Chain A
Amino acid sequence: DAKTTQPPSMDCAEGRAANLPCNHSTISGNEYVYWYRQIHSQGPQYIIHGLKNNETNEMASLIITEDRKSSTLILPHATLRDTAVYYCIVSLTGNQFYFGTGTSLTVIP
């Protein structure tokens, strides 16, 4: 079962930062936090993942709280093509992914 809670939907103005929160209060010490997104009728796309430290790549930044019970995905300059459902997943490396309901992000022109 999914161990994450996300708001069902969010809006963001084009060009602004999109901050997507995720609660994972029951995360265990070795579990990673993964973020994926799914554009309509496509397979999920990997965005970023982390264990304890904050992470940044060309797509996004991941901020994990010190107690690891929550995290935030940051898209620094949202574009219309970032409109998608964003999934936060907690899992051990090599284990199955159980998807929660995700956050439907709409980027508004």
Chain B
Amino acid sequence: GAVVSQHPSRVICKSGTSVKIECRSLDFQATTMFWYRQFPKQSLMLMATSNEGSKATYEQGVEKDKFLINHASLTLSTLTVTSAHPEDSSFYICSAEARQGKNYGYTFGSGTRLTVV
């Protein structure tokens, strides 16, 4: 089945540094990927839509200069959290659409837990 791989699964960084999270579609091509953020005991919140070869579309209230998204190929999207602060600590999840017969839908990565200290 369609697999989305996210790396790293956990990362701890110092306040003020930048962190890059990778999202790869392993056995399919994804022209569009989505990035979510999830705080403890809350639901997933859509941050942005990542479009291959063009600029990402950000949801209202999400700072595009802080959360840099690059979708340079059909199998890779990256999210860079720039100048990270403790309030950016969260669970970040990506997803992509994979059409395989009847069971198409969005496949999600396993998530990246970011802790900013």
Give chain A nearest CB distance to B83 CB in angstroms: 26
Task: Report if A44-B108 is in contact (Cβ < 8 Å); known contacts: A96-B34, A97-B95.
Answer: yes
Chain A interface residue count: which class?
Answer: 20 to 34
Other A-B pairs, 11, CB within 8 Å; known A97-B95, A99-B46? A2-B43, A41-B91, A41-B113, A42-B111, A44-B108, A87-B43, A93-B104, A97-B46, A99-B45, A101-B43, A102-B43
Contact residues of A: prevailing secondary structure: loop
CA distance A98 to B109 in the complex (A): 16
Q: Is B105 an interface residue (CB 8 A)?
A: yes
Q: Which of A83-100 contact B (CB under 8 A)?
A: 87, 93-94, 96-100
CA distance A45 to B107 in the complex (A): 7
Query: Which B residues form the contact surface with A (CB < 8 A)?
Result: 4, 6, 32, 34, 36, 43-46, 49, 91, 93, 95, 97, 103-111, 113
CA distance A96 to B97 in the complex (A): 10
* A100 & B43 in contact (Cβ 8 Å cutoff): yes
Q: Which of A9-51 contact B (CB under 8 A)?
A: 34, 36, 38, 41-46, 49
Chain A: CB-nearest residue to B9: A41
CA distance A98 to B34 in the complex (A): 11
Instruction: Give how many A-B residue pairs fall within 8 Å (CB-CB).
Output: 50
* B110 & A42 in contact (Cβ 8 Å cutoff): yes
Q: State the 9 A-B residue pairs at the shortest beta-carbon distance, nearest first.
A: A43-B108, A99-B44, A99-B43, A44-B108, A46-B105, A43-B110, A43-B111, A43-B93, A43-B109
CA distance A97 to B65 in the complex (A): 23
Give chain B nearest CB distance to A63 CB in angstroms: 18
* A97 & B34 in contact (Cβ 8 Å cutoff): yes
Residues of A within 8 A of B104 (CB): 93
Residues of B within 8 A of A49 (CB): 105
7 contacts between A and B (CB under 8 A): A34-B106, A42-B110, A42-B111, A45-B108, A57-B103, A97-B95, A99-B44
* B107 & A46 in contact (Cβ 8 Å cutoff): yes
